[in-house]
Amino acid sequence: MVDDGCPHSSGKEAEKSGRGNVIVISHERNQGVGGAVVTGYGRALELGCDIVIKIDGDGQMDPRYISSLVEPLIRNEADYTKGNRFRDFKALRLMPGTRLFGNSALSFLVKVSSGYWNIMDPTNGYTAIHRRVLEKLNLEKMSKRYFFESDMLINLNIVNAVVKDISIPALYGDEESALNVGSILLQFPLRLMKGLARRIFLKYFLYDFNMASVYILTGLPLFVFGVTFGLVEWMKSLASGIARPLGTIMIAVLSIILGFQLLLQAVSIDISSIPKRER
């Protein structure tokens, strides 16, 4: 257990249980969910654990589903499993509206940035990870706050880890979430863009070079040129009151269309490249 500077001294309460298999690690200062998880992962590796399960202390994660998370790891069907509340309609009805909206908006953005187009509920922290992939991650470079789960997915894709969603309903009580949806929607997009750029550079230009790399190299400049050129010419037209020649318009339009189509091809290759076990 990691006591991340809990004001209720949860670590001390856990120590009072007297159980010899309970190890409490305390942070003098709060480091955020990512900092706490990284500390727990580090200790688990030191102890020689093969599988590490993360459960938050807010009472929303039902321990009865631990076996569902662990089984795909034991059978070598996945390297990392995570809960998904979106497959249970009854659970969705109980989910607070702000969380439902925030998760829906973030899911698509995380799909794009992480490359795991087959997952939902990216902020779900009920997870299990196998040692074989945990040892490949640079834990010290991971985000220490609420971006941790999304950052984890981005880094897992870079090391080609197989990720699997497990349908697990959350248990909601009267507690208030510390997750501010407005703040997340403002802060996450920029971080996700940085994560996407890093993943694309490493996977499609440093570690490998394939047709997706070619499509990005040709499509992105064409699309940016088309949009920029079109805006400049449009502003000139507004300033002068004279419509641009058809040829000028076509240069912008064709550049945008062709660039967009090439980028769509790159996305298609990225979707087909989701890490998976070979059968």
Residue 14 reports pLDDT greater than 90: no
Amino acid at 148: F
Residue 96 reports pLDDT greater than 70: no
Residue 190 reports pLDDT greater than 80: yes
pLDDT band at 184 (very low <50, low <70, confident <90, very high): low
Pairwise CA distance, residues 226 & 260, whole Å: 10
Pairwise CA distance, residues 174 & 59, whole Å: 11
Q: Among 45-54, 101-110, 243-252, 266-275, which is the least confidently predicted range?
A: 101-110
Residue 211 reports pLDDT greater than 70: yes
Strands (E), the chain: 2-3, 25-26, 51-54, 80-84, 127-130, 163-167
Q: Looking at residues 85-92, what average pLDDT do you find?
A: 72
pLDDT band at 61 (very low <50, low <70, confident <90, very high): confident
Q: What is the dihedral of CA 221, 225, 226, 227, to 10 degrees?
A: 110
pLDDT attached to residue 94: 65
181-201 and 148-158 helices cross at what angle (nearest 10)?
10
Positive or negative torsion for Cα 179, 102, 189, 33 = positive
Domain 56-206 architecture: Alpha-Beta Complex (3.90)
Q: Where are the domains of the chain?
A: 56-206, 211-272
The Cα-based distances of 166 to 73, 77, 120, 218, 251 in angstroms read 12, 12, 10, 38, 48
pLDDT attached to residue 50: 95
Pairwise CA distance, residues 79 & 50, whole Å: 11
Confirm whether pTM is higher than 0.75.
Answer: yes
Pairwise CA distance, residues 271 & 111, whole Å: 9
